[in-house]
Structure 1
Amino acid sequence: MEKRAFGNTGASFPILSFGAQRIVDDHGCGEEEAIRIVNRAIDEGITYFDTAPIYSDGQSEERLGKSFGERRDRAWIATKTIDRTRDGSWRSLEGSLKRLRTDHVEEWRLHDVRTMEQLDACFAKDGALQALVEAKEQGVIRHISISGHTNPSVQLEAIERFPFDSALVALSAADQFIYSFAHEFVPRANEKGVAVVGMKVIGLGRLASWYEKALRYTWSLPIATAIIGMESMEQLENNLAVARSFRPMTEIERLEFAKEIISMANPDVLRWKAKDWSNAEQWAERV
């Protein structure tokens, strides 16, 4: 698989990285199968694993922890805090380390920062960012990150305020049409040496009919890597096959693909950009 530099960190990763949200019972993936999938991924060269404590009440982290065993040194772990306070984030990290069976993680993210108010809370005195900085100073984490699904302006403001090492953002082909991280955020992140990690590549399954094109679209962007959710060995093998045969989309291919999927640009499909996830009829207000 093609490898790319991870911003200014000195690390590099294959274009295909592992989204661990789906190796859980909620997605029909039992523990034994989850462990097999993760180890197969490592065997095939995947080294970047993304998780979070809120994924199935910690089950995602638990299963990664059980999977790595003596191969822990072959995995770059990125986990997150959804808490906006220093103390709450420290408690979150302590729980993550226990479930992941490790004394450190390579990357810790501010999770799903949607609004300027949430960003301000993270940056405030005794806010979540303070915990991330302290954890890095203590060697409990190696790199500081932020994620965003909804409003590129928030993540743009974040990287101007603080030297984040990376950012995890929504970069599906359908995301390009509204509140576009690809158009607004990625160029500035690249200028500043912030590693960009793509997510929502298959649009929670809504782009499954264009599976290979969806992967190629995101990998054709100037990003470091993309995390893909995998809940079965078949999905892993399919992803590996597309990654190994990857060739960037031409301008004409991007245009034709955009014409095919423009109808998918609605708040029911792009729920992470909707006003209300459970009643996705309107776009989130962009302030």
Structure 2
Amino acid sequence: MPETTMGGLTVPLQGLGCMKMTEPPRPGRETADAVIGRALDLGVTFLDTAELYGNGRNEEIVGRALAHRRGEVVLATKVGARWKGDGDVQLRGDADYVRKACDASLRRLCTDVIDLYYLHRRDPAVPIEESVGAMAELVAAGKVRHLGLSEVTAEEVRAGHAVHPIAALQSSWSLAVRRVEEVVPVCAELGVGLVPYGPQGAGLFNADLETANARVAQDAPEHAGLPALVRDIAQRRGLTTGQVALAWVQQRADVWGVPVVPIPGATRVRHLEENVAALDVRLDAAELALLDRTSQPVLEGS
């Protein structure tokens, strides 16, 4: 698989988001073993998890799936968000928590080093300099190799990067969600790569047209026409709608001049293989222009 470099970290042009492997009714361990094994065989060696997913269980099953193949993988996980007993998410970015959480993630992942460690969400009660500073200590201690941020502003990217080089920004980025484009110019300036999650619109462009239109009508009427356009391009090109959506995200690297490495999730080997096949898809200028024009109100209205 072709590769790119984000802040000194070399990764394949597509990764695998593992979050859904522990969402009910998925059979966690079996799913992880099958999908991750096939992903590595195909060269998808950039895996993404977090302490938040499954309350740590996601890290555990990813770690077990990599038991005999850890050396093949660029392993990413996240700190700073965890489930509370009442079902809400608690944000923690203080230095003491960051250090303890890293040790816990290392144990669950059955590894002695994390290749890419993200601040999952910024704790509004803690200066981002403190959080990134604690993460930088983990790099110095040999527990982490590279640092990342997730869903932060341009100013927060600058502030974090001033403490320690940031290799990647993980954020939602798809035809349906384009807010991150406000931050991309700063990433390009600083040499920070982009790792889009939800590149297929959180399932919007994998759904059938009737379902997609119903979701758009209820939640985002400004998306009107977008699901049908993606479907039409897919039918004309002999692709799936998910592949068209993924190809659009992949080609953002050409538009913005930054490394872009999407991490679509997959809980079936067939979907994983479809996602990997999208790496060979190149949308032409007319298709890109039409998709950009149709999705632009999403950016303006977000």
Cα shift at 1:69: 1.1
Deviation at 1:265, TM superposition (A): 6.5
* From 68, 72, 75, the counterpart of 2:73: 75
The CA distance in 1 between the partners of 2:25 and 2:48, in whole Å, is 16
Letter in 1 for 2:243: E
Question: Who is 1:257 aligned against?
Answer: 291
Q: Tell me if the contact between 1:22 and 1:29 (Cα under 8 Å) persists in the aligned partners.
A: no
Please, which runs of 5 or more residues in structure 2 have no aligned partner? 81-91, 208-240, 254-258
Q: Deviations over 1:190-246 (max 9, x none)?
A: 232222212221222123243122101110012341111111212111112222x22
Larger Rg belongs to: 2
CA offsets 1:144-199 (integer angstroms, 9 cap, x no match): 111117x55543554466521221122212223xxx323x3223312322222122
Q: Is contact 2:243-2:274 (8 Å) kept?
A: no
Structure 1 window deviating more from structure 2 (219-228 vs 135-144): it is 219-228
CA contact under 8 A between 1:7 and 1:190: conserved in structure 2?
A: no
Distance 2:268 2:18 in 1: 11
Alignment partner of 1:109 is 2:118: yes
CA distance in 1, matches of 2:243, 2:34: 24
How far off is 1:13 after superposition?
2.3
Aligned to 2:251: 220
2:281 corresponding residue in structure 1: 246
Deviation at 1:53, TM superposition (A): 0.4
- What residue number does 1:276 align with? none
* 159-168 or 188-197: bigger deviation: 159-168
List, as ranges, runs of 4+ consecutive aligned residues in structure 1 with deviation greater than 3 Å. Answer: 151-162, 258-267
CA contact (8 A) 2:177 2:298 kept: no
**Contact 1:202/1:208 (CA < 8 Å) preserved in 2?**
yes
Alignment size in residue pairs: 253
One-letter identity of the residue aligned with 1:48 = F
In structure 1, list runs of 5 or more residues that go unmatched: 268-282
TM-score in terms of structure 2 length: 0.76
Tell me if 1:131 matches 2:137: no
The answer to whether the 8 A contact 2:118-2:148 is kept is yes
**In the aligned structure 1, how far is the partner of 2:14 from the partner of 2:293?**
26
Change (3 A) 1:152 1:202: farther
Equivalent position SS for 1:165: strand
Aligned: 1:237 with 2:273: yes
Q: Separation in 1 of the partners of 2:25 and 2:292?
A: 29
